[in-house]
Amino acid sequence: MSWKQKSVAVVGAAETTKMGKIPDVSVIGLHADAALNAMADAGLKPSDIDGVATAGISPVELAHYLGIKPTYADGTSVGGCSFMLHVRHAAAAINAGLATTILITHGESGRSRVGAGGFGRSPSSLMGQFEMPYGPVGPPTMFTVPVLRYLKTHGLKPEDMAPVATIQREWAALNPRASFKDPITVDDVMNADMIAWPFTKLMCCLVTDGGGALILTSAERAKDFPQKPVYVLGTGESVETPMVSQMYDFNHSTAFRISGKKAFETAGISHSDVDHLMIYDAFAHLPLYGLEDLGFVKPGEAAAFIRERNTAPPSEGKKGGKLPLNTNGGGLSYMHSGMYGMYALQESVRQMRGTAAAQVPGAKISVSHGVGGMFAASGTIVFSNEAP
Amino acid sequence: MPPRMLPEPTPETRHFWDGCKEGELRLQRCTSCRDSYFPPRPFCPKCGSRDVEVYKASGEGVLWSYVINQRPRPDMGTEPYAIAVVKLAEGPTMMTNIVDCPQTPEALQLDMPVKVSFSKQSDDISLPLFTPAKG
């Protein structure tokens, strides 16, 4: 028997007041700023919240800092898609009666590192033993490792990834809060500083400070809140590997496929129903894997799909593409504090409320797909602005 | 240059690192389903059986994928280097470095045959690196 997760809705959603470089706020301060903004958005006080979920810090820290005495706490921490998993778990929890009003927060001082924990892994962990000795320096040198194999399998070249960055910059140009708005060309992308061949700087995400928060409650109650409810139609999650070198197949993400399939099935939608799509883009290859593993295109077809402007905004009198993707500018141009999944969810909620900076006219269904770690985990949420 | 970041073996991985020290690449396989796997663990990840054995692998494989890191980690020197994954003849993939080979896209062709070469780092640790296979 499947439980009715469609009876849950987002009633509060907000990002931190500032975004980008915030040297005067610590990590927990960013969580709190986003949480207070989301509570104001929903017309709620901390005492109205009875469930908390967060990653990066402990839900204990979050609850106590905000003065919340919850009956539900979720500390699932699987990287940048943790917030998709929090939404999924919150939907189940609300339906099971564990809590009525759940706050999910993210805050990260990725750039300024104020009150932030250190990086680094134990040398006795599996990654410490079997990857770190070979010289990786964070995600740009690890998340990218499978890509040459993917490109060879499909007869593609590194420059086939460049339109991901140029087209997302077009979306960012429409968004006043985006970090980078100036147009870029494929040549700009290819000639940018080399970070880890074949990845140039413009194929890698930003490093910024920021946060975001969501508040979920039952769809029944959602009608009484000030904002237009955004319903959770379907959800999926999976985890794959703590080490990128041990992905089951370098040509696709097993976690993406499992999570996406579950989300589409539980929502009861098909790909042609999707009006708006967010795919967590820490690096330029992720929207390619995402489009293919979610089933929007066949394996190897995503690069051409993007190059042919199927995901692009309207430009020079030409209509926008049929599948607007990463409409906030994405991790490549909007912002990326470290765990970007929250910002993908925020943009989906804005699109469903009809309040996005680059609003997709008439959009009714939005899919937000996240990755955690380096192909370690995945979460997928299907939203709608129509009551199920 | 700071000392290279080295692994700390655990009881479950000790045989692997002892093997490297002795010049052997040791994998594990399931005695019931015969699946070879990596990294080390005392059970088969395919069928869950605890009846597994350690064996000496061929040390041969092909270059499966890589990036060339342009911003070297301080303990890795000052020149760009490839962070590579090889696909071993026995099936599993393994992260490593490709040595005795220019660290360029031209020299590092996917699917080229490679062979293990152990690099002594300390009394306890030798790292399994790979070189292009000759002939």
pLDDT tens-digit series, residues B58-85: 999 999 999 999 999 999 999 999 999 9
Residues contacting residue A276 through CB under 8 Å, at least 6 positions apart:
A324, A327, A348, A351, A360, A363, A365, A366, A367
Q: pLDDT at position B1, please?
A: 87
Show the DSSP H helices in chain A as ranges: 27-42, 59-66, 82-96, 126-130, 147-153, 162-173, 186-191, 219-222, 254-267, 286-293, 302-307, 330-333, 341-353
Q: Residue B40's pLDDT is what?
A: 95
Cβ pair A129:B13 closer than 8 A? yes
Interface of A with B in 122-181 (CB under 8 A): 122-124, 126, 128-137, 141-142, 144-149, 152
Quote the ipTM score: 0.94
Please indicate, yes or no, if residue B98 is contained in any of the structural domains.
yes
Q: Compute the Cα dihedral for A186, A189, A192, A193 and give only its sign.
A: negative
Instruction: Find where tokens 């079997």 sit.
Output: A130
Span A39-67, average pLDDT:
96
Q: Does the residue A159 lie in any domain?
A: no
Give me the CATH number covering residue B85: 2.40.50.840
Domain range for residue A95? 5-115+205-384
Mutate to test the interface with B, among A159, A204, A245, A250 (most CBs of B within 10 A): A245
Average pLDDT of chain A, as a whole number: 95
Q: Domain for residue B4, yes or no?
A: no
A212 pLDDT above the threshold of 50: yes
Mean pLDDT in residue range A160-166 = 98
**Number of structural domains, chain A?**
1
The structural domain count of chain B equals 1
Cα-based distances in Å from A182 to A33, A169, A171, A208, A300? 29, 7, 11, 18, 29
The shortest C-alpha distance from A146 to chain B (Å) reads: 6
CB pairs below 8 Å between A and B: how many?
107
Q: Strands, E, within B12-59: which ranges? A: 26-30, 36-37, 52-56
**pLDDT value at position A113?**
85
Q: How many alpha carbons lie under 13 Å from residue B122 in its C-beta half-sphere?
A: 10
Report CA dihedral (B63, B66, B71, B77) to the nearest 10 degrees: -20
Residue pLDDT, tens place only, A217-247:
999 999 999 999 999 999 999 999 999 999 9
Interface of A with B in 313-352 (CB under 8 A): none
B80 part of a folded domain: yes
Whether residue A210 is contained in a domain is answered as yes
Give the per-residue pLDDT at A1.
37
Residue B7 lies in a domain: no
Domain hosting B118: range is 14-132
- Model confidence at A114, pLDDT cuts 50, 70, 90, reads confident
CATH number for the domain spanning A107: value is: 3.40.47.10
Strand partners, A63: none
Residues in chain B with CB shorter than 8 Å from the CB of A124 are: 7-10
- Which pLDDT tens digit goes with each residue over A342-371? 999 999 999 999 999 999 999 999 999 999
Whether residue A132 and residue B67 make contact (CB cut-off 8 A), yes or no, is no
Mean pLDDT by 10 residues, chain B (135 residues): 93 96 98 93 91 97 98 96 98 98 98 98 97 86
Q: Classify residue A146: in a domain, yes or no.
A: no
Give me the sign of the Cα torsion angle A14, A20, A22, A27. Answer: positive
Burial tier of B132 (Cβ tally within 10 Å: 0-12, 13-18, 19+): middle
Helix (H) and strand (E) counts in chain A = 13, 11
**pLDDT band at A317; cut points 50, 70, 90:** confident
With respect to residue A20, please indicate whether it lies within any of the assigned structural domains: yes
In-domain check, residue B107 = yes
Q: Judge whether B101 lies within some domain.
A: yes
Q: Write out the H or E segment, with its range, that includes residue A195.
A: strand A194-197
Q: Is the pLDDT of residue A119 over 70?
A: no
Split at pLDDT 50, 70, 90, the class of A6 is low
Determine the distance in angstroms separating the CA of A284 from the nearest CA of chain B, rounded to an integer: 14
CA distance A121 to chain B (A): 11
Least confident of A125-129, A140-144, A184-188, A310-314: A125-129
- Tell me the nearest-neighbour CA distance from A182 into chain B, angstroms: 26
Q: Give residue A120's pLDDT band: very low, low, confident or very high (50, 70, 90).
A: low
Using an 8 Å Cβ cutoff, are A374 and A143 in contact? yes
Q: Which residues on adjacent β-strands are paired with residue B114?
A: B61, B132
Q: Using the beta-carbon criterion (under 8 Å), do A195 and B71 form an inter-chain contact? A: yes
> What residue type is assigned to position B10 of the chain?
T
Confidence tier at A4 by pLDDT (50, 70, 90): very low
Decide if B1 is inside a domain: no
- Give the pLDDT of residue A318: 84
